[in-house]
């Protein structure tokens, strides 16, 4: 592939506006007459295409004709084929006839490029692209130059820039890193409590899914991330009992739910794989925000809903540490501010904490169990039953509780709790939770709140109210205004009682006080008052962000905005942030290509935008490698995985992944683990093909993939233990390997219910073979298959239109690919029979065997052109005979991804030549990049 002949370079050089020499029109006309006009002439021409009429025109859009000739779809198999040289002549002539269409010279950078660039510039790891609206529309690639910057997107970029700057350089300081331990679970719905039990020093879980099919996850108590940031969650856990292979511990984050047997899905943070019955510590990293809880769901396919389980996953305890900083102070201060001296001041520390050490990465377990503890408060109660003391309200669990005395004598009302607030903190309310799991005796129904300065005189209540019984969630009691009194009394005036006795009980009670006063924060500041220092900081940032050397006059506006803030607030870092934000929101940053001080820098910026979705780092800026060397360097960096992910999401359409939910009736075993790992398999595979420069044919077929225990089980492959992805070698007859048979692709080509050979055929045609598809003609009744009780097989329904000539013209070359994939259900599992959905009684209730019965046998045979295949192996062989087509298509897609527009026909001839020999993935990527960048219209000043 290094041949890249002179002729080829010529083509690429011609990518500009030159006209290229092209075969004489008369010669080409002869070729058209010889090979095409037999069918495509006159009013009754095939496919309504009258070529002789078209050819007579000065200019016409001939892309479709070009592609059909280039990919040898035309002339059809049964007709005479032109010799390669003749084909080339036709193509060149067509290319020359293409109306000149010059793509817009610039484009807006995508939300992913924006967020990755800023993360790299600031040294943060924030995944905020989600929060910015999708603006890809119906274009295949985010990079498409037709997508314009809209005021809404600019508004979003302003907002995200703020959020990222604030996270990186917080004005109010960093929350000190904390470490805390919890072994208590929050109460869950009684339907599911039976599937866990106290075990040794912690809890044993069996696998259960909620009645609506969601992973039923159990929440940890006393878990509240103090600030948005990265945390380490360390689980001490083990597999218990005779279970084959590893058991999995899924760690989720989300909002705690209770009294809801149809829980909402949680965000899967990571998976811990457990193979041993010895306790071991495993740590995951996760980004958490205040208000998010951590929950766990344990999975092993053999212990579904074992009551009072004897086997499953044992978790002793969870240790959380965070918010984490890479170093202290964070490394980014050095990279953004250079050697300017920092000053680090604790904030509010005097008020709450007496400790003086300044090292934020202290790993000492330091965490208050309640706000009450933080404000130095305490409580006393009117009476208590031994074993149900007041401390039980403060231990962070609503399963242990305080109860008024009932034995040997019944305590008389009033029942109350007095909260002492010696430091006179401002308290805005109380947080109350019932005790759960018992008979409900004593749950408070009505209450009154009093305050006092001496603990003796209480006056009139400051508020009264009612509380829900039988609700485990915390219920806030809001005071009409914040109270700073030394004593607060909560009186239970009415309580639930089974037998009419006067009782009171509380599971959890705490004060609500403003969080800020309770957090130790560390403020990082720069003492410099020198605006020249500020200018240097803004200059360094702007030069990296713009990938250009900048003159003072270029920088002046950015200096001005920073200096104005500096003059107003006197805060160096806030002033720098204003300058940074202006840089991030400027047209030079948001519209690519930017203006660069040299062609070299322009190329580097373009290269890194394509491969890392970011801006070049210092190493690359300084590099004097050849362009090819730079490409290789950038590809070898792990940041190039962003490009692979982009390709999977856009080229292979995996961005639709989460919008398709497989039916739980038909595919009951589909779960969070598959949802998580199936796309990772595809990304890992594609990354491998490129990194290892594998032959293009491995897009279609290979004898390996990247699997873990869950995926292997899904694919029916034995002997894979543990949930880390690794390269797995397939047996000879395994119907896997290549993209087509991956569960990810099989899922995005369905609606989650039935498979559709048409959709799958179209996916292969469009994304792998690059065969152009036309929309159905107006006269056709479109159908999509729907397998319901009593209907015929999918194939019969689809083959109906094949009787009609109109449909057959196109569908004969689309659907057959889909037929071969009928053996894969909507989740990519192998099947020999279709499933027919069965009704369920009453409300849907999840069960692992689903609600279906087996229907007709799958027939995966088909015919493409004049070649027959019996099954997927046959289809793959058939596709592999034309791997050049696959290579050409991949080159075309990668070109479009990299450049933001579809290649012109002249450029396509270049791509065709590039893919004429033996084709390997990395070569194609490098060649397309090299030629795209060589011709970059980047200019110096």
Partner 1 sequence: MRRIDRRNLLHFGAALPLALHSLANRSEARSNSIKAPKRIIFICNSLGFYRPNFFPTERGNLESSKYLSGLANREKLTVFQNLFHPGMETSNHDSEKSYLTGAAKPEAPNFANTISVDQILAKHIGGDTRFPFLSFSIYDRGWGCSWNDQGVAIPPMHDTNQIFNKLFGEEDLSAKRRQIRNDQKIVDCLHHDMRRLEDHGTREAKAKIATYRKVIGELEKRLAHEAFWLKTQKPNIPNTLSRDSEFAFSTKVSNLLQLAKLAFQTDSTRIITLSLDWIYGAIQVPGATGGWHTLSHHGGRPEVIDKLTRIEMDIIKHLNQFLITLAETPDGNGTLLDHTTVVVGSNFGDSSNHTCNNLPTFVAGGGMRHHAHRVLDKPTPLCNLWLDLLQCHDVDIGKFGSSDENSKLFPV
Rounded to a whole number of angstroms, the minimum distance from the CB of residue 477 to partner 1 is 19
Contacting partner 1 (CB under 8 A), which of 255, 285, 289, 501?
Answer: 289
Rounded to a whole number of angstroms, the minimum distance from the CB of residue 618 to partner 1 is 24
For partner 1, the closer of residues 240 and 602 by Cβ is 602
Q: How far apart are CA 141 and CA 138, in angstroms?
A: 9
Q: Is the distance from CB of 11 to CB of 909 less than 8 angstroms?
A: yes
Rounded to a whole number of angstroms, the minimum distance from the CB of residue 187 to partner 1 is 21
Rounded to a whole number of angstroms, the minimum distance from the CB of residue 292 to partner 1 is 10
Binding to partner 1 by CB under 8 A, coded x per residue (else -) over 75-114, reads --------------------------x---xx--------
Rounded to a whole number of angstroms, the minimum distance from the CB of residue 152 to partner 1 is 6
Rounded to a whole number of angstroms, the minimum distance from the CB of residue 267 to partner 1 is 8
- CA–chain centroid gap for 473, Å, is 30
- Site for partner 1 contains 796 (CB under 8 A): no
Taking CB under 8 A as the binding criterion, the range among 146-154, 236-244, 406-414, 452-460 that sits at the site for partner 1 is: 146-154
Closest C-alpha to 610, from 129, 909, 932, 940: 932
For partner 1, the closer of residues 553 and 832 by Cβ is 553
For partner 1, the closer of residues 62 and 702 by Cβ is 62
Residues 303-342 that bind partner 1 (CB under 8 A): none
Contacting partner 1 (CB under 8 A), which of 24, 331, 501, 564?
Answer: 564
For partner 1, the closer of residues 107 and 403 by Cβ is 107
Q: Is the distance from CB of 465 to CB of 447 less than 8 angstroms?
A: yes
Residue with tokens 């935008």: 609
For partner 1, the closer of residues 513 and 748 by Cβ is 748
Q: How far apart are CA 235 and CA 238, in angstroms?
A: 9
Residues 196-215 that bind partner 1 (CB under 8 A): 212
- Ramachandran area for residue 823 (φ above 0: left; ψ -120 to 50: alpha; else beta): alpha
Taking CB under 8 A as the binding criterion, the range among 116-124, 548-556, 720-728, 814-822 that sits at the site for partner 1 is: 548-556
Residues 764-793 that bind partner 1 (CB under 8 A): 775-776, 778, 780-784, 786, 788, 791
CB atoms within 10 A of CB 332: 17
Rounded to a whole number of angstroms, the minimum distance from the CB of residue 135 to partner 1 is 5
Contacting partner 1 (CB under 8 A), which of 109, 444, 491, 565?
Answer: 565
For partner 1, the closer of residues 505 and 754 by Cβ is 754
For partner 1, the closer of residues 136 and 310 by Cβ is 136
For partner 1, the closer of residues 164 and 712 by Cβ is 164
Taking CB under 8 A as the binding criterion, the range among 322-330, 395-403, 582-590, 713-721 that sits at the site for partner 1 is: 582-590
Helix pair angle (572-584, 531-546), 10° resolution: 30
Q: How far apart are CA 780 and CA 284, in angstroms?
A: 54
For partner 1, the closer of residues 299 and 546 by Cβ is 546
Residues 460-479 that bind partner 1 (CB under 8 A): none
Taking CB under 8 A as the binding criterion, the range among 394-402, 585-593, 708-716, 924-932 that sits at the site for partner 1 is: 585-593
Q: How far apart are CA 4 and CA 25, in angstroms?
A: 27
Closest C-alpha to 684, from 633, 631, 628, 744: 744
- Ramachandran area for residue 345 (φ above 0: left; ψ -120 to 50: alpha; else beta): beta
Contacting partner 1 (CB under 8 A), which of 38, 131, 570, 629?
Answer: 131
Q: How far apart are CA 301 and CA 290, in angstroms?
A: 33
Contacting partner 1 (CB under 8 A), which of 43, 84, 151, 386?
Answer: 151
φ, ψ of residue 235 in degrees (nearest 5) = -105, 130
Rounded to a whole number of angstroms, the minimum distance from the CB of residue 128 to partner 1 is 7
Taking CB under 8 A as the binding criterion, the range among 131-139, 302-310, 515-523, 674-682 that sits at the site for partner 1 is: 131-139
Contacting partner 1 (CB under 8 A), which of 177, 221, 236, 554?
Answer: 554
Residues 890-919 that bind partner 1 (CB under 8 A): 902
Residues 688-717 that bind partner 1 (CB under 8 A): none
* Residue 622 CB contacts under 8 Å (≥ 6 apart), including other chains: none
Contacting partner 1 (CB under 8 A), which of 146, 285, 412, 599?
Answer: 146
Contacting partner 1 (CB under 8 A), which of 56, 77, 159, 410?
Answer: 159
Contacting partner 1 (CB under 8 A), which of 152, 198, 355, 857?
Answer: 152
Closest C-alpha to 217, from 668, 662, 671, 660: 671
Residues 369-398 that bind partner 1 (CB under 8 A): none
Strands 833-837, 402-403: pairing is unpaired
**CA atoms within 13 A of residue 847's CA, in its CB half-sphere:** 10
Size of the site for partner 1 (CB under 8 A): 79
Closest C-alpha to 754, from 787, 784, 791: 787
Q: Is the distance from CB of 141 to CB of 900 less than 8 angstroms?
A: yes
**CA atoms within 13 A of residue 368's CA, in its CB half-sphere:** 18
Tally helices (H) and strands (E) across the chain.
Answer: 30, 31
Closest C-alpha to 36, from 94, 76, 83: 76
**CA angle at 173 for the pair 170 and 179, rounded to the nearest 5°:** 110
Contacting partner 1 (CB under 8 A), which of 36, 55, 121, 132?
Answer: 132
Contacting partner 1 (CB under 8 A), which of 335, 428, 586, 808?
Answer: 586
Residue 921 host element (H or E): helix 921-934
Taking CB under 8 A as the binding criterion, the range among 172-180, 318-326, 401-409, 584-592 that sits at the site for partner 1 is: 584-592
Strands 475-483, 427-433: pairing is antiparallel
Q: Is the distance from CB of 743 to CB of 750 less than 8 angstroms?
A: no
Q: How far apart are CA 792 and CA 787, in angstroms?
A: 8
Rounded to a whole number of angstroms, the minimum distance from the CB of residue 111 to partner 1 is 10
- Site for partner 1 contains 750 (CB under 8 A): yes
Q: How far apart are CA 419 and CA 402, in angstroms?
A: 14
Rounded to a whole number of angstroms, the minimum distance from the CB of residue 349 to partner 1 is 24
Taking CB under 8 A as the binding criterion, the range among 79-87, 305-313, 490-498, 745-753 that sits at the site for partner 1 is: 745-753
Contacting partner 1 (CB under 8 A), which of 148, 283, 361, 364?
Answer: 148
3-state secondary structure of 406: coil
Rounded to a whole number of angstroms, the minimum distance from the CB of residue 821 to partner 1 is 17
Q: Please count the residues of the chain.
A: 941
3-state secondary structure of 792: coil
- Site for partner 1 contains 751 (CB under 8 A): yes
Helix pair angle (111-122, 151-168), 10° resolution: 20
Closest C-alpha to 123, from 327, 332, 285, 324: 332
Residues 225-284 that bind partner 1 (CB under 8 A): 228, 262, 264
Contacting partner 1 (CB under 8 A), which of 4, 31, 463, 660?
Answer: 660
Strands 218-219, 293-299: pairing is antiparallel
Q: What is the DSSP letter of 769?
A: I
Contacting partner 1 (CB under 8 A), which of 162, 232, 571, 632?
Answer: 162
Closest C-alpha to 342, from 361, 324, 363, 327: 327
For partner 1, the closer of residues 240 and 534 by Cβ is 534
Residues 801-860 that bind partner 1 (CB under 8 A): 843
Rounded to a whole number of angstroms, the minimum distance from the CB of residue 728 to partner 1 is 30
Q: Where are the alpha helices (DSSP H) in 638-714?
A: 641-650, 672-691, 709-714
For partner 1, the closer of residues 632 and 751 by Cβ is 751
Binding to partner 1 by CB under 8 A, coded x per residue (else -) over 856-885, reads ------------------------------
**CA atoms within 13 A of residue 732's CA, in its CB half-sphere:** 0
3-state secondary structure 833-862: EEEEECCCCCCCCCCCCCCEEEEEECCCCE
């Amino acid at each position: 592939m290094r041949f890249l002949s002179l002729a080829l370079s010529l083509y690429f050089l011609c990518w500009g506006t030159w006209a290229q020499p092209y075969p004489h029109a008369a010669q080409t006309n002869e070729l058209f007459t010889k090979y095409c006009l037999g069918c495509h002439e006159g009013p009754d021409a095939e496919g309504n295409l009258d070529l002789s009429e078209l050819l007579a025109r000065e200019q016409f859009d001939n892309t479709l004709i070009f592609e059909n000739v280039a990919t040898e779809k035309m002339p059809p198999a049964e007709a005479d084929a032109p010799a390669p040289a003749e084909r080339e002549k036709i193509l060149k002539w067509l290319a020359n006839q293409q109306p000149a269409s010059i793509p817009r010279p610039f484009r807006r950078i995508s939300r992913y490029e924006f967020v990755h660039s800023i993360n790299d510039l600031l040294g943060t790891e924030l995944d905020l692209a989600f929060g910015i609206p999708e603006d890809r529309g119906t274009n295949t690639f985010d990079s498409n130059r037709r997508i314009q910057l809209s005021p809404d997107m600019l508004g979003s970029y302003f907002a995200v820039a703020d959020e990222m700057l604030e996270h990186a350089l917080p004005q109010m300081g960093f929350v000190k890193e904390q470490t805390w331990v919890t072994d208590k679970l929050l109460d869950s719905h009684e339907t599911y409590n039976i599937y866990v039990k106290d075990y040794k020093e912690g809890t044993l879980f069996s696998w259960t899914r909620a009645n609506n099919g969601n992973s039923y996850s159990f929440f940890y108590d006393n878990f509240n991330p103090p600030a948005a940031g990265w945390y380490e969650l360390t689980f001490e856990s083990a597999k218990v009992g005779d279970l084959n292979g590893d058991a999995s511990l899924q760690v989720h984050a989300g909002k705690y739910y209770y009294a809801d047997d149809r829980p909402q899905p949680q965000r899967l943070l990571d998976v811990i794989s457990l193979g041993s019955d010895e306790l071991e510590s495993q740590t995951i990293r996760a980004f958490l925000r205040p208000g998010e809880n951590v929950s766990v769901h344990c999975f092993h396919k053999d212990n579904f809903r074992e009551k009072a389980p004897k086997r499953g996953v044992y978790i002793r305890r969870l240790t959380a540490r965070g918010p984490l900083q890479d170093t202290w102070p964070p490394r980014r201060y050095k990279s953004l501010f250079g050697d300017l001296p920092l000053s680090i001041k604790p904030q509010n520390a005097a008020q709450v904490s007496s400790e003086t050490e300044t090292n934020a990465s202290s790993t000492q377990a330091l965490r208050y169990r309640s706000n009450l503890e933080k404000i130095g408060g305490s409580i006393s109660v009117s009476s208590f039953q031994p074993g149900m003391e007041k401390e039980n309200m403060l231990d962070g669990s609503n399963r242990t509780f305080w109860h008024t005395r009932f034995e040997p004598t019944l305590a008389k009302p009033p029942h109350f709790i007095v909260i002492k607030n010696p430091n006179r903190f401002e308290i805005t309310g109380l947080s109350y939770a019932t005790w759960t799991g018992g008979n409900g005796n004593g749950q408070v129904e009505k209450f009154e709140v009093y305050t006092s300065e001496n603990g003796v005189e209480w006056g009139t209540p400051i508020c009264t109210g009612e509380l829900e019984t039988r609700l485990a969630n915390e219920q806030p009691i809001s005071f009409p205004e914040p109270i700073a009194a030394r004593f607060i009394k909560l009186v239970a005036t009415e309580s639930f009682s089974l037998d009419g006795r006067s009782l009171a009980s509380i599971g959890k009670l705490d004060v609500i006080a403003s969080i800020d006063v309770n957090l130790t924060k560390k403020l990082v500041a720069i003492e410099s008052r020198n605006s020249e220092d500020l200018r240097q900081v803004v200059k360094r940032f702007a030069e990296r962000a713009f990938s250009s050397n900048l003159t003072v006059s270029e920088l002046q506006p950015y200096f001005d905005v920073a200096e104005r803030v500096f003059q107003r607030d006197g805060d160096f870092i806030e002033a720098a942030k204003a300058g940074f934000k202006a840089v991030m929101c400027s047209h030079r940053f948001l519209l690519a290509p930017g203006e660069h001080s040299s062609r070299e820098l322009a190329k580097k910026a373009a290269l890194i935008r394509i491969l890392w979705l970011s801006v070049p780092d210092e190493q690359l800026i300084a590099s004097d490698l050849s362009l090819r060397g730079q490409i290789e360097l950038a590809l070898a960096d792990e940041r190039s995985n962003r490009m692979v992910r982009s390709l999977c999401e856009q080229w292979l359409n995996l961005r639709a992944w989460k919008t398709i939910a497989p039916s739980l009736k038909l595919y009951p075993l589909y779960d969070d683990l598959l949802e998580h790992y199936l796309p990772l398999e595809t990304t890992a595979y594609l990354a491998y093909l490129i990194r290892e420069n594998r032959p293009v044919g491995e897009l279609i077929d290979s004898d390996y993939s990247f699997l873990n225990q869950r995926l292997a089980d899904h694919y029916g492959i034995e002997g894979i233990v543990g949930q880390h992805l690794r390269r797995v070698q397939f047996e000879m007859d395994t119907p896997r390997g290549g993209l087509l048979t991956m569960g990810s692709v099989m899922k995005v080509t369905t609606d989650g219910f039935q498979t559709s050979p048409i959709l799958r055929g179209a996916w292969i045609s469009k994304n792998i073979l690059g065969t152009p598809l036309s929309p159905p003609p107006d006269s056709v009744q479109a159908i999509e298959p729907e397998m319901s009780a009593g209907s015929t097989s999918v194939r019969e329904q689809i083959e109906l239109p094949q009787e009609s000539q109109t449909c057959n013209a196109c569908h004969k070359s689309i659907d057959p690919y889909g037929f071969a994939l009928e053996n894969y259900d909507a989740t990519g599992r192998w099947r020999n029979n279709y499933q027919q959905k069965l009704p369920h009684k009453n409300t849907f209730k999840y069960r692992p065997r689903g609600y279906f019965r087996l229907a007709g046998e799958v027939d995966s045979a088909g015919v493409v052109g004049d070649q027959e295949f019996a099954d997927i192996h046959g289809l793959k062989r058939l596709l592999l005979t034309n791997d050049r087509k696959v290579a050409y298509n991949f080159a075309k897609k990668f070109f479009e991804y990299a450049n933001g527009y579809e290649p012109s026909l002249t450029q396509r001839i270049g791509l065709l030549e590039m893919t004429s020999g033996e084709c390997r993935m990395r070569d194609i990527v490098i060649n397309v990049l090299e030629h795209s960048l060589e011709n970059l219209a980047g200019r110096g000043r």
